[in-house]
Amino acid sequence: MTRAFVFPGQGAQTIGMGHDLADAYPTARAVFEAVDDALGEKLSTLIWEGEIEDLTLTRNAQPALMATSMAAMAALQAEGVEIGAASYVAGHSLGEYSALCAAGALSLADTARLLRLRGEAMQDAVPAGQGAMAAILGLDFDTVTEIAAEAARGEVVEAANDNDPAQVVISGHKAAVERAADLAKERGAKRALMLPVSAPFHCALMQPAADAMARALADVDMQSPVVPLVGNVIARAESSADTIRQNLVDQVTGRVRWRESVAWMSDQGVTEIFEIGAGKALSGMVKRIDRAMETQAVGTPEDVAKAATAING
C-alpha cells in the first residue's frame, strides 16, 4: 500500500479539538504548549475553552489547526508511526504548512509564527466587507472558471479552491462573487453558498499578504522535507526547499489545486490517505475525486490507535 498523509485547512476548527489527544499523549500536549510558547499566548485555552467566533478568526484558526494536526502526528509517533510511513504529504491551504512541519521542513515554533502572520496578513489585505467567497456545488472547474470571467466586470472573482469534481470555491470582490454565484445557479449549480469567511482568500486581492509572506519566508530556516510535498499551486511533488518557499508565496494568491493534487497522487500509486488533524472534510473530497482511495481521519486517540494498527500491521 502506498499512502499519503494530508492536513486540513481553515473551516475544520472546532472548540475542544485535540484536547483528548493532549490528555492521552504527553507528546501531543507538548505540541500545544510549544505553540503557546512560540506565540506568547495561551492559544490552547482558546482552542479548548474559548468561543468559536474567536477561534474562527483567521489569525487564530490557522495556528490552531496546525497545532491540532501536529498533536495528532505526535500521537501517531508515540504509537510507532513515523512520517516516513507516507510516500507523500499534502495540505489544503494552511495545511501545507502543517505538512511541511510534519515532514521536518519547518520547526514547530516557526510554523506557528508563520501561520499567525499569514492569518493576520490575509485578514488585513482587504478591508472588511469588500471581499467574499462562495462554494459552487454541482459544476466542474472549467464551467465555474467561465462563469467567474463573465461575472468579473472589471472586478476580481476567481476560482480559488478546486476541491473536487463538483465543488469549486470562488473568491474576490463581494459584488463580483455574488454575481458569479447567481450566474452559477442559472447555469445549473446545485447550490451556490456564500461562505462565512473574513477575507477573500486565494485570489489576486491577497497580493499584500503574499508580499508579507515573501518577506517572512525569506527569513525562516527551511529544510527539504523528508517526504515530498504535493504542493497546492503545482499539484505535484516537490522536495526543494527553495522551490517550496516560492510556492508558499504563490499559494497566497494562487488556486488550491486539491482535485488535481489527489489525482496526481492516485496516478503515483497512492491508495490510502490519512487525514491528520481536525475534521473529515478532506477525506470527503478525496472520495469524490477517486472512489477507490481508502481514507481515514486521524483526530482522536481512537483514530490514532486505528491508524497505527493499519500502518504498522
Residues noted as catalytic: 93, 202
Q: Which amino acid is at 101?
A: C
Phi-psi region of 269 (alpha: psi -120 to 50; beta: other; left: phi over 0): left
How far apart (Å, rounded) are the C-alpha atoms in residues 200 and 175?
12
Q: Are strands 131-137 and 229-230 parallel, antiparallel or unpaired?
A: unpaired
Which SS3 state, helix, strand or coil, does residue 300 take?
coil
How far apart (Å, rounded) are the C-alpha atoms in residues 146 and 151?
9
As a residue count, the chain comes to 313
Q: Which amino acid is at 302?
A: E
How far apart (Å, rounded) are the C-alpha atoms in residues 268 and 53?
40
Grid coordinates standing for 213? Answer: 509572506
H helix or E strand, kind and range, residue 113: helix 108-124
Query: Phi then psi for 120, rounded to 5 degrees?
Result: -70, -40
